[in-house]
Amino acid sequence: MNQGVERSMDCARLFSASVKPVVLTHSKGLTAPTIEISSGVEFCSGEYASANNYIPHVPVPLEDWKVCATEDFSGDLNEVVNSPYTSVGIFAVPSPIREEIEQLNKVTSDADDYLHLAKTFARYVVPHFHIVPQSFFSHALVVNEPGERTTTIDTRTMRRPGLHVDSWSDGEGETRFASKIRFNVNLGPGRRAFLFASKGLAPLGDWDGSLEPDAYYNFLRFAPNTKIYRVTLDPGMAYIAATECLIHDATTSMESTRRCISYQLRGRLYS
């Protein structure tokens, strides 16, 4: 068997967990997040990569999005906490924080003005989602312009890697399946969406989650019809995801003229 095909088949065995969005029930009564699904991925040509600051040939979702029925994805917090590697939790921050976000978005889009909201979000998330306090790690605010097909920039190349898997644990002395879970909130004023593949890494036997750097790329080459979810979040909506086990990225609205400010923190959940 061709060595490249064999490597891709090995990657397919690793990325065998079915992943879906879970809209937490305590978010009901608000405008539901828009959940869409794409039929697969394409790989950036050299010309497209050069024009749009991508690393050549990286995967991005096909733009054939179809809207899903949000009610098909409702669930509760326990479902996400108990199975963080197969669920992406979608939730709204408490109404006092949402109201403050709404008022702030009327008068500014300067990231510095949102710093206190990031701290408020952290004070809510840590106890509510049972994060081990000693594991808490806060990131800086991120500002993205509207119309970014994917938002992540690889700091080594300063180019976009497209859909990818995080590897924070490599530098933090942790294994992938015991790594910190990501929480990310859209502070506005623009809309932001989380992208993730419907297949993720599955814990297999005593495997610690060690991956070759191009494992997710080889998997998507082998299975380019892997469906991709796009969950669009209005300001005040957030997600919880095990991004070291998910092929993912984010995107900002093509229809907006407003930049998007987001905040993320990471932490381990109490078992």
pLDDT score at 248: 98
Phi, psi (deg, nearest 5) at residue 96: -60, -35
Q: Which of 162, 181, 188 is nearest to 240 (CA)?
A: 181
Classify strands 74-75 and 20-24 as parallel, antiparallel or unpaired. parallel
Domains of the chain: 3-267 (2.60.120)
| pLDDT band, residue 1 (cuts 50/70/90) | very low
| pLDDT band, residue 28 (cuts 50/70/90) | low
pLDDT score at 56: 96
Query: What's the mean pLDDT when you consider all of the chain?
Result: 89
State the pTM of this model: 0.94
Q: At residue 27, does pLDDT exceed 70?
A: no
Taking the C-alpha atoms of residue 185 and residue 203, their distance in angstroms, rounded to an integer, is 27
pLDDT score at 92: 92
pLDDT digits (tens, 9 = 90+) for 7-26: 656 777 889 899 999 998 75
Taking the C-alpha atoms of residue 127 and residue 91, their distance in angstroms, rounded to an integer, is 15
pLDDT digits (tens, 9 = 90+) for 146-202: 999 999 999 999 999 999 999 887 656 677 888 889 999 999 999 999 999 999 997
Rounded to 5 degrees, what angle do the CA atoms 111, 138, 192 make?
A: 50
Q: At residue 30, does pLDDT exceed 70?
A: no
DSSP helix/strand/coil, 241: strand
pLDDT digits (tens, 9 = 90+) for 46-99: 999 999 999 999 999 999 999 999 888 988 888 888 888 899 999 999 999 999
Q: At residue 6, does pLDDT exceed 60?
A: no
3-state helix, strand and coil shares in percent for the chain, rounded to the nearest 5 = 30, 30, 40
Taking the C-alpha atoms of residue 230 and residue 60, their distance in angstroms, rounded to an integer, is 12
pLDDT digits (tens, 9 = 90+) for 224-260: 999 999 999 999 999 999 999 999 999 998 777 889 9
8 Å CB contact between 57 and 44 = yes
Taking the C-alpha atoms of residue 108 and residue 267, their distance in angstroms, rounded to an integer, is 30
Structure tokens at 137: 């790690």
pLDDT digits (tens, 9 = 90+) for 88-142: 999 999 999 999 999 999 998 899 999 999 999 999 998 988 888 888 888 889 9
Write the DSSP symbol of residue 95: H
Structure tokens at 152: 């992540």
